[in-house]
């Protein structure tokens, strides 16, 4: 089913066509990154929908489904920005049950199963293993924070960084999660400073294939790096 034509779907189709210009077949993995509140899930879902329009087999995952247990995430303290950046996610499991088998199936043609989720952060418990398979030609789109950290960059065939002003992001998070909309509030220190650590460590705007200004959900706009 084809989505209605809107500014958002027009951009998603342009990005899909750009990816397809480089990757006509096989299995490809795309990342949608941005700070909390950037609109990653909606954007990644929309991108998946337009890939499906051309008949692609599309799979969606989020790094949020690969959290580490709470005691590990908070091992450096509940307010630690370093703990937020370094300890939030189980990247070893993410690679072992999703990325590696997804890639392997595309390279060998084997019906290797992969797992789109491994942990339920709300329950603070592992989820029941559900293994799925894909055809030789397939698209996997992963959304989440910190996806351009140096240790993950080699996983993606193509990636996007969603730019959103920090005040807009925190207002969205407040509406979604009931958090304090003031990004300078003490309760937000862990997350704000953890994101700042990431920006310094990874420079995701430079690492991403594409930068999109997602300040207005209905009118996302591609922007270009200024190297002058």
Residue-wise pLDDT tens digits, 152-206: 999 999 999 999 999 999 899 889 888 878 887 888 899 999 999 999 999 999 9
| pLDDT, average across residues 208-213 | 98
184 or 69, higher pLDDT: 69
What local confidence, expressed as pLDDT, does residue 109 receive?
A: 61
Indicate yes or no: pTM above 0.85. yes
Decide if pLDDT at 92 tops 70: yes
| pLDDT, average across residues 26-39 | 96
Work out the percent of the chain whose per-residue pLDDT is above 90. Answer: 84
Q: Which two tokens stand for residue 93?
A: 């499991």
How high does pLDDT run on average in the chain?
A: 94
Phi-psi region of 178 (alpha: psi -120 to 50; beta: other; left: phi over 0): left
The CA distance from 31 to 63, in Å, is 10
Residue 176's φ and ψ, nearest 5 degrees, are: -80, -45
The CA distance from 138 to 136, in Å, is 6
Q: Which two tokens stand for residue 80?
A: 């630690």
Go through the chain and tell me how many residues it has: 228
Is the Cβ–Cβ distance between 179 and 50 less than 8 Å?
Answer: no
Q: Which two tokens stand for residue 35?
A: 């700070």
The CA distance from 177 to 153, in Å, is 29
106 or 133, higher pLDDT: 133
């Amino acid at each position: 089913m084809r989505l209605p034509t809107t500014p958002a779907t027009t951009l998603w189709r342009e990005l899909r066509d750009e990816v397809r210009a480089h990757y006509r077949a096989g299995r490809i993995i795309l990342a949608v990154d941005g700070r909390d509140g950037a609109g990653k899930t909606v954007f990644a879902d929309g991108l998946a929908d337009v890939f499906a329009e051309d008949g692609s087999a599309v799979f969606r995952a989020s790094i949020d489904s690969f959290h580490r247990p709470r005691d590990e995430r908070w091992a450096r303290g509940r307010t630690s920005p370093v703990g937020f950046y370094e300890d939030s996610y189980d990247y070893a499991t993410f690679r072992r049950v999703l990325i590696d088998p997804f890639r392997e199936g595309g390279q060998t043609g084997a019906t290797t199963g992969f797992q789109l989720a491994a942990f339920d952060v709300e329950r603070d418990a592992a989820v029941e293993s559900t293994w799925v398979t894909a055809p030789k030609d397939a698209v996997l789109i992963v959304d989440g924070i910190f996806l351009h950290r140096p240790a993950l960059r080699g996983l993606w065939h193509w990636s996007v960084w969603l730019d959103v002003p920090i005040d807009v992001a925190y207002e969205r998070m407040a509406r979604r999660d009931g958090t304090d909309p003031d990004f300078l509030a003490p309760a937000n220190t862990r997350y704000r400073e953890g994101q700042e650590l990431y920006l310094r460590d990874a420079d995701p705007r430079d690492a991403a294939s594409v930068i999109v200004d997602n300040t207005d959900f209905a009118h996302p706009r591609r922007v270009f790096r200024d190297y002058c």
